[in-house]
């Protein structure tokens, strides 16, 4: 009987040693998984924000300006940031226009025809500081849409 108890204690000691050796690796994998999940969530949120801002900008420019004290760019930015209100600090929104879909998108003034591009940018900071894992990553999402062809009467 004494021999069995000694063998059982030795096996449980081996299991504890194995756990002690594997635990740092498991914690590293867990932390990386959490950061990957966060960056995936932020990417999806920014894509939705760019889509909403672009939809607002392309839908009859000037039609929904209820407040004359704010300009169209502010309204587009507010429409885009409405989707990403839970992200802190807020991402930056840039709205540009061009006459062709594959254009340079350098104009900041809307025309009655053409295309609009809304680009949302956010600097993501990881919660891990492991070697080989970047501590910051810039996430850019942009959406292009055709401008509404005519203003409804």
pLDDT tens figures, 109-129: 877 778 999 999 999 998 887
pTM: 0.76
How much is the average pLDDT of 27-49?
A: 91
How much is the average pLDDT of 45-68?
A: 77
The closest of 78, 144, 146 to 112, measured between CA atoms, is: 146
* Longest CA–CA separation in the chain, Å: 96
Q: Are 53 and 141 in contact (CB under 8 A)?
A: no
How far is it, in rounded angstroms, from Cα 109 to Cα 92? 18
How much is the average pLDDT of 54-83?
A: 72
Question: Where do the domains of the chain lie?
Answer: 2-146
**Strand pairing of 136-146 and 115-125?**
antiparallel
């Amino acid at each position: 009987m004494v021999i069995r108890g000694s063998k059982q204690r030795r096996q449980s000691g081996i299991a504890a040693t194995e756990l002690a050796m594997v635990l740092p690796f498991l914690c590293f994998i867990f932390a990386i998984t959490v950061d990957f999940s966060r960056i995936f969530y932020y990417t999806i949120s920014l894509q939705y924000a760019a889509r909403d801002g672009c939809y607002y900008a392309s839908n009859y420019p000037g039609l929904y300006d209820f407040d004359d004290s704010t300009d169209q760019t502010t309204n587009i930015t507010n429409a885009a940031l409405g989707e990403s209100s839970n992200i802190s600090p807020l991402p930056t929104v840039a709205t540009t226009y061009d006459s062709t879909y594959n254009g340079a998108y350098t104009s900041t003034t809307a025309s009655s025809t053409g295309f609009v591009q809304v680009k949302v940018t956010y600097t993501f900071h990881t919660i891990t500081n492991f070697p080989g894992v970047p501590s910051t990553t810039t996430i850019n999402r942009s959406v292009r849409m055709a401008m509404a062809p005519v203003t409804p009467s």
